[in-house]
Amino acid sequence: MRLHARQSGAEPFSFVSIKGVFSGNLSLDITEGSLWKLKHSGFCGMRSKKFNGFIDLESYDTLAMRVRGDGRCYISTIPLHQYVAKYKGRVISSETEMNPSRVVAMALSVNAERDVRVPISGPGDFRLEIDWIKALRTTDLI
């Protein structure tokens, strides 16, 4: 799959320059008496350290990731306006908008909810190999 981005003055900006692996086991179990005192389960997340200052993504409209999940490589693009604020796997407020000029960290999360549109979903092991994450401008900004 090739990703074409119109370059309107904004060069692709790379967040990740070395490869990484995001893996684990998604479970919906909550064990009573657990050391962790879990109230919710079924999600896993990772986030970067806070950036030194802010990253300004105002000139970009999309984040793209080159990942491998099932042995094949994919380039996934997500428009910045579709990002939502979450805490512990739950949406904080769908009305909260990300300020693209003041990005302080990046995060990825997966959840164990079953999705009939996806061949493999729900609880179980997962593995996502991340080759790169970039900010792109795919449309002309006015």
At 15-74, the pLDDT tens digits run 555 588 888 888 877 777 666 665 666 777 777 788 788 888 899 999 898 888 866 777
Is residue 120 situated within a structural domain?
Answer: yes
Residue 29 lies in a domain: yes
User: Are 115 and 56 within 8 A, CB to CB?
Assistant: no
Q: What is the pLDDT of residue 1?
A: 32
CA distances from 142 to 59, 60, 135 (A): 10, 12, 18
- What is the model's pLDDT at position 68? 85
* Cβ atoms of 91 and 109 closer than 8 Å: no
pLDDT of residue 3: 37
Q: Identify whether 5 is part of a domain.
A: no
Tell me whether residue 4 is in a domain: no
**Count of domains for the chain:** 1
Q: What is the pLDDT of residue 141?
A: 52
Give me the domain span that covers residue 106. 13-136
Answer with the residue of higher pLDDT: 77 or 36. 77
pLDDT in tens, 86-123: 776 677 776 777 788 888 888 877 777 777 676 667 78
Whether residue 141 lies inside any domain: the answer is no
pLDDT of 14 strictly over 60: no
61 contacts 137 by C-beta, under 8 angstroms? yes
| Residue 1 belongs to some domain of the structure | no
Fill in the DSSP letter of residue 117. T
